[in-house]
């Protein structure tokens, strides 16, 4: 199928690449020229394991007549990149919106990018020569409940504006209406389309796996035609037919859940809010564990074995961050407020998380007393391992607080090579051992696998004081103590 993906970030690029991998023809549109130029040159602007090889395999390359046909032919599914929105609109029977919806200071999501794209789609539907084709406009960006209808309205607005402009310049779009330029029938010039919601549940760092092995695919729509097209699009994933090694008996079909638009949008927010709640819950339990002498990792194992609770998302630590949990939980609180619903649980989830980040600094103060003039080394900066994403990373709160208290902050993260913006004032090191040199304490912020195989004896030996705060309960306390560290975990 011909698919256009507008917004080539973490979600858009992964979606486009995976759809190409299962045999669809994909055009990815982005208004960031540098990003598109890089992608056209085969450079992936983000770090996501497995993504580069899929994009490379399916990148559209013109057929070289001199090369042998087998090697030169484009694979059945392909992916192309462009800044030309109209080209994307002309191409796609299914058009995904995957632009960002970052939080505004109020906690509401910023919908300006979705609005710009929706209006652009409306204009493009008028301006491109494809007016008789039906389209499915798929909103994959996380947007507040009710946005599906609003997106439809923005598309119609964009279309109306373009139709008027076309009319004034006397384009063929409205040929025959020139005698009465103030009146025209938008429906007669606009192709039929439906807006569906298709929330995304991928996690950064395992985005490719998550896309091919989703727990469910959710489609919010009341259009049988659009639902059937979406089912066809995802069929290879639903039935695992993209994977030659999959045995249908071993893998039941992926649940394909059809809801109304508002419910699909709510599923996305409720899922993220629930996961964040689980983490804040275990972090609160962790604090109590510390006071009573229990070990939260054992407690999490004990409760996680109850199938009604489940073992996932019960890792206590420095708290949740990233581009989505913080903004999505806040957005749900804002929606509650807009509709006069109290949200005390969600507000407590946010507050617990805020305090959790600061508990790292409190632990340092407890051991080192005054932090002014002390050197603190951060192991890891990104909001989780296997990503380069620094959006709302817990490390940023810790850095801000340490700098405020007069500490010197050093850091090493395998993905972060240069100081930018919010990392001002942080000295970046090139590995864990050089980070530890002269530090009064180390803080494990991100559980990068490579930290498990560091030489802990050498790590401790290079420090002014061998203190480690393990913000992810990643290390074995015994092993760290054997290496000479004073070890502080989170709730153990």
Ligand X SMILES: O=C(O)[C@H]1O[C@H](OP(=O)(O)OP(=O)(O)OC[C@H]2O[C@@H](n3ccc(=O)[nH]c3=O)[C@H](O)[C@@H]2O)[C@H](O)[C@@H](O)[C@@H]1O
Active site residues: 324
Minimal distance, residue 200 CB to ligand NAI, in Å:
4
CA–CA separation, 435 and 409 (whole Å): 10
Minimal distance, residue 386 CB to ligand X, in Å:
9
Nearer residue to ligand X within complex by CB, 60 or 313: 313
- Which residues, in sequence order, are bridge partners of residue 137? 95, 195
Minimal distance, residue 431 CB to ligand X, in Å:
22
Residue 78 binds which entry of ligand X, ligand NAI, none, CB below 5-8 Å type-dependent: none
Residue 279 binds which entry of ligand NAI, ligand X, none, CB below 5-8 Å type-dependent: ligand X
CA–CA separation, 402 and 371 (whole Å): 8
CA–CA separation, 241 and 245 (whole Å): 9
Pairing state between β 467-470 and 486-488: parallel
Nearer residue to ligand X within complex by CB, 131 or 203: 203
Nearer residue to ligand X within complex by CB, 78 or 201: 201
> What radius of gyration do the chain's Cα atoms show?
26
Residue 325 binds which entry of ligand X, ligand NAI, none, CB below 5-8 Å type-dependent: ligand X
Residue 383 binds which entry of ligand X, ligand NAI, none, CB below 5-8 Å type-dependent: ligand X
Nearer residue to ligand NAI within complex by CB, 98 or 221: 98
Concatenating the DSSP letter of every residue in 276-344 gives HHHHHHHHHHHHHHHHHT--HHHHHHHHHTSTTT-STT---SS---SSSHHHHHHHHHHHHHHTT---H
Distances 393 to 167, 390, 398 between C-alpha atoms, Å: 50, 5, 9
Residue 111 binds which entry of ligand NAI, ligand X, none, CB below 5-8 Å type-dependent: none
Residue 92 binds which entry of ligand X, ligand NAI, none, CB below 5-8 Å type-dependent: none
Of 311, 150, 144, 135, whose CA–CA distance to 223 is shortest? 135
DSSP 172: G
DSSP 459: H
477 neighbors 460 (Cβ within 8 angstroms): no
Nearer residue to ligand X within complex by CB, 314 or 360: 314
CA–CA separation, 271 and 329 (whole Å): 10
Site residues (CB under 6 A) for ligand NAI?
Answer: 6-12, 29-32, 35, 98-101, 113, 116-117, 141-142, 200, 202, 204, 323-324
Nearer residue to ligand X within complex by CB, 90 or 204: 204
Minimal distance, residue 449 CB to ligand NAI, in Å:
20
Residue 148 binds which entry of ligand X, ligand NAI, none, CB below 5-8 Å type-dependent: none
Minimal distance, residue 316 CB to ligand X, in Å:
7
65 neighbors 121 (Cβ within 8 angstroms): no
Minimal distance, residue 5 CB to ligand X, in Å:
16
Closest residue to bound ligand NAI by CB: 9
Nearer residue to ligand NAI within complex by CB, 100 or 317: 100
CA–CA separation, 411 and 429 (whole Å): 6
Cα–Cα–Cα angle for 336, 390, 454, nearest 5°? 130
Distances 194 to 94, 126, 229, 261 between C-alpha atoms, Å: 10, 15, 11, 11
**Up-side HSE of residue 68: CA atoms within 13 Å toward CB?**
2
Residue 47 binds which entry of ligand X, ligand NAI, none, CB below 5-8 Å type-dependent: none
Closest residue to bound ligand X by CB: 324
Q: The tokens of 435 are what?
A: 């980070």
CB neighbourhood size of 223 (10 A): 17
Site residues (CB under 6 A) for ligand X?
Answer: 200-204, 272, 275, 279, 313-315, 317, 320-325, 383-384
Nearer residue to ligand X within complex by CB, 269 or 412: 269
């Amino acid at each position: 199928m011909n698919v256009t993906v507008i917004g080539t970030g973490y979600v858009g690029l992964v979606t486009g690449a995976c759809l190409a991998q299962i045999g669809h023809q994909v055009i990815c549109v982005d208004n960031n020229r540098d990003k598109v130029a890089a992608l056209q040159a085969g450079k992936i602007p983000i770090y996501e394991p497995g993504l580069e090889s899929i994009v490379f395999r399916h990148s559209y390359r013109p057929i070289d007549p001199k090369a042998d046909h087998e090697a030169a032919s484009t694979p059945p599914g392909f992916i192309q990149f462009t800044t030309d929105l109209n080209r994307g609109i002309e191409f796609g029977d299914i058009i995904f919106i995957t632009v960002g919806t970052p939080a505004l200071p109020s906690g509401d999501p910023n919908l300006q990018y979705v609005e710009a794209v929706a209006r652009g789609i409306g204009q493009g539907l008028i301006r491109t020569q494809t007016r008789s084709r039906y389209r499915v406009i798929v909103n994959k960006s996380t947007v507040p409940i009710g946005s599906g209808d609003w997106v439809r309205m923005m598309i119609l607005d964009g279309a109306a504006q373009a139709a008027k402009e076309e009319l004034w310049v006397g384009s063929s779009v409205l040929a025959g209406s020139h005698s009465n330029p103030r009146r025209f029938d938008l429906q007669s010039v606009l192709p039929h389309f439906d807006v569906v919601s298709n929330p995304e549940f991928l996690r950064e760092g395992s985005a490719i796996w998550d896309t091919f092995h989703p727990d469910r695919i959710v489609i919010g729509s009341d259009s049988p035609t659009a639902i059937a097209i979406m089912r066809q699009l995802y069929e290879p994933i639903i039935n695992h037919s993209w994977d030659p090694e999959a045995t249908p008996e071993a893998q039941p079909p992926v649940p394909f859940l059809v809801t109304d638009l508002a419910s699909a949008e709510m599923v996305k927010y409720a899922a993220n809010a629930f996961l964040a709640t689980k983490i804040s819950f275990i972090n609160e339990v962790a604090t109590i564990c510390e006071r009573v002498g229990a070990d939260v990792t054992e407690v999490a194992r004990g409760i996680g074995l109850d199938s009604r609770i489940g073992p996932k998302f019960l890792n206590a630590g420095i708290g949740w961050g990233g581009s989505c949990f913080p903004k999505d939980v806040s957005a749900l609180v804002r929606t509650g407020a807009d509709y006069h619903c109290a949200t005390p649980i969600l507000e407590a989830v946010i507050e617990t998380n805020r305090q959790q980040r600061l508990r790292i600094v409190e632990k340092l103060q407890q051991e080192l007393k005054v932090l002014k003039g002390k050197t603190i080394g951060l192991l890891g900066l990104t909001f989780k391992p296997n990503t380069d994403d620094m959006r709302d990373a817990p490390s940023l709160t810790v850095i801000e607080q340490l700098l405020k208290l007069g500490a010197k902050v050093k850091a090493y993260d395998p993905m972060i090579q240069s100081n930018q913006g919010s990392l001002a004032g942080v000295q970046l090191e090139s590995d864990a051992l050089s980070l530890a040199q002269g530090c009064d304490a180390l803080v494990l912020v991100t559980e990068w696998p490579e930290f498990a195989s560091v030489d802990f004896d050498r790590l401790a030996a290079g420090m002014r004081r061998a203190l480690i705060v393990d913000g992810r309960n990643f290390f074995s306390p015994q092993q760290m103590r054997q290496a000479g560290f004073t070890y502080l975990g989170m709730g153990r």
